[in-house]
Structure 1
Amino acid sequence: MRFLHPWYLVGLVILPVYLYLKYGKNFWGKIGEGSVLVSDMRLFGKRVFWSGWYDWLLDGLVMVGLFFGIIALARPIGGQTTTQDNLYGIDIVLVIDVSETMLFVDEIPSFLVRRSLYGETVYEDPTGKLLEYNRLESAKKVIQSYIDKQSQNRLGVVLFGTYAYTLTPLTFDLDMVRRLVEGIQFRPENNRTAIGMGVATAINRLSSSRAKSKVIILLTDGMNNAGLVEPKTSARLAQERGIRIYTIGFGNPEAVLQPVDRSGRLYVLRSGETIDEALLSWMAESTGGKYYRAYDRQALEKIYDDIDRLEKSRITIQRKIFWRENFWPFAFIFWLSLMFWMGIQIVMIRLP
């Protein structure tokens, strides 16, 4: 609870000052010097009882009334739980490659069984754990961790392979975004890489944004080989609309484990896929963003942390807070104390 007019609280000093002046020993002694001495209180008959409690009762009502009256004047207001964002901080669209190459594994774990099949060296995974190490699953875990840190920003997610589509529009419901990212799976019909379409779809998601800062974070492990929109065309469109693009090339360029079938149990060793780093770098620099290269999951985590630090410095959020008035109970107690004080005064005046 806070006070809208806190300077009225200075009036609370009146209460101890009043009590001291009336009941303090020094002041009482001075008043006693001029008082009239009476030999027998029985001269006052029935009014002896009232003479002992009358002042205390009235003073108590005065103290209570003044206290709550001053509090009411100071306008206590409660911190309302409802808030509204008048201006968003950052609108971020995560553009994620879900093509077939995202099922590749960039490291060779020790638990794999190596054997020869049809004259070729094959790595067998009898446990099925290797699926957790492929690029798509690694990216999903890193992106989920990044989502958890974006409490002040709206997030959207676009997936692309042969075609691009929106997984979720811009939203503050980060729990929903996280769950949807966790459920991302590879689709066989979406096995190519349409980088330009992915970025163009993200730009469309940001077209109605009123945020001061609009960002696209593009994650891919291949070269553009599908789609109707060229990556450079989508980058120019982002530049015109004031959208920054951060691009991330993900994957080991030396060697990767490629799954032989959809079961994810058999893998063969292949040379790493080529990433068009020149294109990704140009897309980032032309829009005011930055290009990153990640060879494994640990490097990818550091990249998303770095992007998070860069964008946090640009956040500007204005909030309108609705306060709840709390002075009514205090004003009511003040009024009630005043009514009792006046009532007792009237009754005592009329007593014989």
Structure 2
Amino acid sequence: MPDLDTGHLFLTTLAPIKAGKAGDGSNTSCEQKVRATLAMLPTALQSPATQNTGLNSPFSRNKRTHLARMFVLGDVIYNGRNAQNPVVATAKGINPVEPQEIDKLNAAYLVFCADIDAVTEDGAPLPHNLTAEEQTEVRKSYARKLWDTMGPELEEIYRNCVGFDGVNSADGFAEYLDRCHVETTMPFHDYYLKLPKFNELSVPKLLAAILVPAGIGLLALVLWLFGMSSVLGISTLLLFVLGFIIAVVAAVLSARYALSNGSKPLPPGEYDDLPSVLKALYVQQTFADFAIDHQGADADKIYEDFGAFLETHKPADKMSPTQNPGVISIAAEGGLSS
């Protein structure tokens, strides 16, 4: 299914950028204004260099975004001439020197890609499947969350895009972003601790459903050609026709089943949602400190302190205490959420 896999939505939107100058009184084009604004957006605090800035990515202000990327697509890439057989081209009178038509975008586009939990409430269980309407509601819920947590940044970026004029609320931004939505079948990540049971096809059964009636029909045809008009009181010609029809129907149904089976999204992993990932990082770090601090301690001391560890850090509660999004560790500034 497009967009949905492993309980996540792989959101992709393309917003056309206005032609001409930006409306800020400068001579800067809207496209260049978008590029400059994106260049000034801080990244996550994921390295010593970025930690020293003290500015975290605005996408870290919510707990649904696993990955996010914004960039300007000025035009599509030219991949060269379409390959063709030179003999056939010569026979058709095609001159290889003459340029072929190439694809061009009608405007520069602001591309926004995000890997998000397919939920409408932070920390909710990841779904195994969603209808098209449910996917739309998830996208809109996420867009409203973005507006509530980073509205000024979004307004500064999207004000240079076509159709954004008049958008000044979370609901308005959700509707706008949904109009820019483009389906994708390219997932960006997975956190599987163990691979799920894939949607495997029972190929022998599908082949048997096609080949058995086809074989019976073919055998009946051979018998009819050799003068045997019936078998067990059934006309061999009728048996051939029925066998052929059943085989064709079985082939069509098998193809539809294979396509339907292939479009099913993979189930979410046990700890695939962002709050669980952040909690796992938090527990990993706090337990590592616990293990180091209790080297050489006696069993009673370890038992007593581990009980206190469980009570303090609450491993079963994925929402709190935990590591905040966008930081490399809980030791970083703003890295701990209690």
**TM tier, smaller:** under 0.3
Higher radius of gyration, 1 or 2? 1
* TM-score for the superposition, normalised by structure 2: 0.25
Hey, which of these two has a bigger chunk of strand by percent?
Answer: 1
* TM-score for the superposition, normalised by structure 1: 0.24
